[in-house]
Amino acid sequence: MAGHVHIVGGGLAGLSAAVELAGSGVRVSVYEAGPACGGRARSYYDRQLDCRIDNGNHLLLSANDAVFRYLGLIGAERSLVGPGRPIFPFVDLGDRSRWTLDLSRGRLPFWLLSRRRRVPGMRLGEIRSLTRLMQAGADQTVSDCLLPGMLSARLLAPFAVSALNTPCETGSAALLGAVIRDSLAKGGQACIPCFPAVGLSESFVDPALDHLALLKAEIRTGCRVSGIEVTGGRIASLRLPEGAVPVGPDDAVIMAAPAPVAADLLSDAVPGLPVPDAFESILNVHFRLPQAPVALGTLAQARFIGVVGGISEWVFVKGDILSVTVSAANRYADRGNDDLAARIWDEVRAAIDPALAHPLPADMPPMRVVRERRATFAATPAQERLRPGTRTVLDNLFLAGDWTATGLPATIEGAIRSGAAAVRAFRARDMAGMPAG
């Protein structure tokens, strides 16, 4: 295999494609418009808190095969931490009840038979919601499939909002069903939670850049692709800051930029290309404590807790940082950062104080609110129909990104899958063009 593959975008989709290609005899160049790679899954130094933080929180599951393959390729498979078993502590701020979802490791859901291990107040008949989600049609929403009861209120609805980053009333039931088939339906062994021990960049970005540098891949940050020239049904050149860069007959382009950027760049090159055009935000609040809290019980094991009945959804304990995630955050777009942070701090205290050796301070500590206004495409049935496949009408153009048709919502797993899928499509094209032996 020869040629030069130009990868537009240095997020996880672009890095995934580059990692798949590097060392295979193909010249690889990654063009990232921003100052650093990683996209929405990166860490950075925050002056206000005087420490490094992640721009968001991501809870991964042991079923995320593409994630673990990628981490294995870049030598970072041991950079994730978690409880090592399928447990999920929760608190309901409405009645202050607490429980730990403790899944059976095998496919048989014995956990449903134990009141101690399942959602409190649920009825066994409610598990039909899971079947309805996994069998959902393309136009059904999550709300269409959820039966009333505590399983929906305390697990499935919060899980849906987190997985889809879209409200249940509009979120695609088919997409949520795909997530359930890949995780809960496979048993607890597929649902062991984990997250980066240090930070997103330390797990997903920095080791990838080191790996790519070792294999002589070219990574260019602060390098915006501003235009594309098409000739004879293929991309002929890319316009970079220094001028046009030719794309030769054996070369290819993997477009791994965010959906709005890709749509703008390809509007003339691929007329009529469907691309998601509605988005949901994610809000994260990072609180820095004077010292790391001492967690007890399952909070100490998991290092996170799910929150029901408030604005907060997940609270992560990361040393002296308490990090809170709020998904589908368009609904809070008009709320001021200080007002939201104060409300969330009260929720954090209510959620985790009983699981700490010492209570949190009543006064809110230094904090940083991070709003990703276009964090993901809105995972609605209508937007799902706009997600394009990997191949395009141009012979040497391939698409990657969590907004492409991965079969999953916009997740790290989907982004990494898409990069690998673009490389497979490129290789299949090259194989198809080889002369018969």
Spell out the per-residue pLDDT of the chain, length 437, in tens. 469 999 999 999 999 999 999 999 999 999 999 999 999 899 999 999 999 999 889 999 999 999 999 999 999 999 999 999 999 999 999 999 999 999 999 988 999 999 999 999 999 999 999 999 999 999 999 999 999 999 999 999 999 999 999 999 999 999 999 999 999 999 999 999 999 999 999 999 999 999 999 999 999 999 999 999 999 999 999 999 999 999 999 999 999 999 999 999 999 999 999 999 999 999 999 999 999 999 999 999 999 999 999 999 999 999 999 999 999 999 999 999 999 999 999 999 999 999 999 999 999 999 999 999 999 999 999 999 999 999 999 999 999 999 999 999 999 999 999 999 999 999 998 766 544 33
Query: Which pLDDT value is given to residue 437?
Result: 35
Task: Fold for 4-34+222-277+379-432, please state it.
Answer: FAD/NAD(P)-binding domain (3.50.50)
Q: Please state, in angstroms and rounded to a whole number, the distance separating the CA atoms of residues 252 and 287.
A: 44
CB 234 within 8 A of CB 352: no
Decide: helix, strand or coil at residue 172.
Answer: strand
Asked whether the beta carbons of 60 and 67 are under 8 A apart, the reply is: yes
Q: What is the pLDDT of residue 98?
A: 97
Taking the alpha carbons of 87, 371, 375, 277 in that order, is the dihedral positive or negative?
positive
CB burial of residue 437 (10 Å; 0-12, 13-18, 19+): exposed
The answer to whether 65 and 42 are in contact (CB under 8 A) is no
Paired residues of 231 in beta bridges: 234
Q: Rounded CA gap, 217 and 210, in Å?
A: 10
234-240 β-sheet, strand order: 227-231, 234-240, 243-246
Structure tokens at 381: 């049935």
Same topology, domains 4-34+222-277+379-432 and 44-82+193-200+279-377? Answer is no
Cα 294 to its chain centre, rounded Å, is 29
Nearest-10 crossing angle of helices 412-432, 12-21: 40
Q: In angstroms, rounded to a whole number, what is the distance separating the alpha carbons of residues 437 and 435?
A: 6
Is the domain defined by 44-82+193-200+279-377 classed in CATH 3.90.660.10?
yes
Report the Cα 85 to chain-centroid distance in Å.
Answer: 21
Q: Residue 52: which of 399, 407, 370 has the closest Cα?
A: 370
Phi-psi region of 413 (alpha: psi -120 to 50; beta: other; left: phi over 0): alpha
DSSP 8-state assignment for residue 352: H
Domain ranges of the chain: 4-34+222-277+379-432, 44-82+193-200+279-377, 124-189
